[in-house]
A = this chain, B = another copy of it.
Amino acid sequence: MAGSTFGTAFRLTTFGESHGGGLGVIVDGCPSGLFLTEEMVQEYLDRRAPGKRSFATTRKEGDRVRILSGVFEGRTEGTPVAMLVENTDARSGDYSALAHVFRPGHADYTYTEKYGFRDYRGGGRSSGRETLGRVAGGAVAACFLKELGITVTAYTLSIGEVKCDPASFDMAERDRNDLAMPDKGAAAKAGEYLKALQEKGDSAGGIIECVIRSLPAGLGEPVFDKLDAELSKAMLSIGAVKGFEAGDGFRAAENTGSANNDGFYISEGQVKKSTNHSGGVLGGISDGSEVIFRVAVKPTPSVSLPQKTVNDEGEETELIIGGRHDSVIVPRAVVVAECMAAAVTADMLLRNMGARLKDIRRFYGC
């Protein structure tokens, strides 16, 4: 059943396989009057492009986005913003060897079980290219949020066991190194680790951290559509993501209530929290402090070491995957997480507008 739409008020519907005509998104519910150009979206797509990162596939994707609708004279019209990235680097031949075998850690087997057959070219819909639609759509959300002074920033927190040191955080560094790590030293160490893995034909995973700043208090819809519940779904919906935690997350489970509670105080007439163990969310509603969460990404399943598997005839076989693959997905997934978080935030901002009769009266001037 239909599962390619995300969000309620600000809504992404994506399409596309790694091969075929192209991939893209319809952004429905984007408010009118937002300044938007293809360049603004392209900037986000370029951050997920593999070309410039040394631990990423060497395919030159060069994905260029085209806005097909919803923008007139440089402004969004309030109508759906459709965007298309055409597939250009479609060497289908590369994949014929994989047509009948199920790659471990990939969705080949499950797509076949679900749909009866599958597009074996590059993973089809389960390919990492599927995220192009998410990024293009989330980029529109991010542009909308910026107009309200809200920013969403994700980065690589760790690769394998190599972790950034919060004491050394430098966000400018994130955009300088290949690994999207905001810590130069950690990036160097992680680079060594990856190089060693790459030589063995193996791969690594890691953790992405994301921070949403300047979010007003009050966002999130009780009881099922909590802000952190929607963020969690958004993150787990990204391929290869295996975990999500808000604020202290799993560490909170080992803490005591007295230490984990964030005390309130008053600063310049505003309610503030002295700590932020909660990650900016209380009862599923933003509390006005930074929203912070982490996302666990599994190691790239495409390794070139021999693997035991089966084919679609029900026979056991051994598989060695050739071709061009990322030895770590994390750095390219950073912008995907950031864009999905922006989409959730935009949705929650719009959904919150009808919460109080008083505000509705003020809105309609009656």
Does A158 sit at the interface, judged by CB under 8 A? yes
**Known contacts A237-B223, A278-B105: does B3 contact A255 (CB below 8 Å)?**
no
Cβ contact within 8 Å between B242 and A253: yes
Does A57 sit at the interface, judged by CB under 8 A? no
**Contact partner of A28 among B3, B296, B314, CB < 8 A?**
B3
User: Inside 8 A of A258's CB, which chain B residues have their CB?
Assistant: 201-203, 303, 305, 307
Cβ contact within 8 Å between B222 and A271: no
Chain B nearest CB from A316 CB (Å) reads 5
Interface string of A264-290 (1 = CB under 8 A from B): 111001010010011101111111100
Does A324 sit at the interface, judged by CB under 8 A? no
Q: How many copies make up the complex?
A: 4
User: Inside 8 A of A361's CB, which chain B residues have their CB?
Assistant: 147-148
Once the chains are docked, how many angstroms separate the CA of A133 from the CA of B64?
A: 24
Does A323 sit at the interface, judged by CB under 8 A? no
**Contact partner of A249 among B113, B279, B296, CB < 8 A?**
B296
Once the chains are docked, how many angstroms separate the CA of A222 from the CA of B28?
A: 10
Once the chains are docked, how many angstroms separate the CA of A80 from the CA of B125?
A: 9
**Known contacts A3-B28, A75-B117, A287-B109: does B69 contact A21 (CB below 8 Å)?**
yes
Cβ contact within 8 Å between A202 and B253: no
Cβ contact within 8 Å between B260 and A119: no
User: Inside 8 A of A297's CB, which chain B residues have their CB?
Assistant: 253
User: Inside 8 A of A352's CB, which chain B residues have their CB?
Assistant: 1, 114
Cβ contact within 8 Å between B17 and A77: yes
**Known contacts A1-B221, A109-B287, A314-B266: does B118 contact A299 (CB below 8 Å)?**
no
Does A350 sit at the interface, judged by CB under 8 A? yes
Interchain residue pairs A-B with the least CB separation, the first 8: A107-B283, A3-B221, A2-B29, A243-B245, A203-B257, A3-B225, A21-B68, A233-B233
